[in-house]
Amino acid sequence: MEKKINLIVREIDKNLRVDVFINKKEKNISRTRIKNLILDQRLKLNNKVTVDPSKKISAGDILELIIPQPKKASLKPFKYKLDIIYEDEDLIVLNKPAGIVMHPGAGNLDNTIVNALINYDKNSLSNIGDELRPGIVHRIDKNTSGLVVIAKNNQTHENLSNQFTKHSIKRVYQLLIWGKVRPSKGKVETLISRSSSNRQMMEVSIKKGKKAITNYETVEIFENKNTPTLSLLECNLETGRTHQIRVHINYLGSSIVGDDKYKKKFKKIKNIEKDLEKLLVNLNRQFLHAKTLGFFHPRKKKEMIFSSILPQELEIILKKLRNTNK
């Protein structure tokens, strides 16, 4: 059954964006969802449909927001062993391996984390978002591993979405890059938009796009005559834009080991230790791992922080580098 929300703008709220105003009054609905509802022609402003989330409101304006009944997903279950590190009545924290996408999309409707969740428990997933993404609050790339949180009900989904919108979620990634970054520790703050030359890629932009903030720190540098120069970094995200870390590392003049999409051209390495070369050449994913995930639990009313160790295919590379570096 659809739900109607009726609001009247007071003097104190005039000149606010309409999506900001609704989010202010209806704190249980994430701003992202409000924006999508507006774009889907679900908002009437003074009895006229508006599709502009940024539209400024005036005192006395009358708003009616229609929230449709959630759709049930018609997705095939996928028999796949999920690495669940925490679960309660509200949410699941998963350790996602590289090589599997989060949700169905063009060319892959069945073999995804969502399909695996449907197989695990199809009746315990939020359904307020895209019908192809039940439970999905956020994503990590196909060839990235690590921690993601899944919502089992709509109230939890809205609460977690708001935390992501407000950038209060703790997210730390480990990555191995070619070369070194200077300075070795810092903050990258740019706009990120879709690439004008390749719509499947993102890029740093001067005038358009979404604000993206990445804090990075060099943890370890590997450098000797038998290895290429490589650096182990940790990145703490303040925002979560598409391909954010990969784009920002590229912006700093480097690229993540195994990242074919955002790779930089480097000199051919001579005299590299053969076993190490084989490990690097045969790595069929990017060396990027979502190591830490922290959030405020909606029901328990406390902060929860989870950690994940590097998967074996990445840990073995670090071990080899450390042994070669001695």
The catalytic residues are 141
Q: Minimal CA–CA distance to 256: which of 286, 218, 223, 231?
A: 286
Beta strands in 13-152 (DSSP E): 43-45, 48-49, 62-67, 84-87, 91-96, 145-151
Contact 161, 28 (CB under 8 A): no
Between CA 31 and CA 22 the distance in angstroms is 8
Amino acid letter, 107? G
Between CA 254 and CA 298 the distance in angstroms is 39
What's the Cα-to-Cα distance from 325 to each of 72, 98, 197, 221, rounded to whole Å? Answer: 54, 27, 40, 9
What's the Cα-to-Cα distance from 316 to each of 161, 176, 232, 237, rounded to whole Å? Answer: 35, 13, 14, 26
Between CA 59 and CA 46 the distance in angstroms is 11
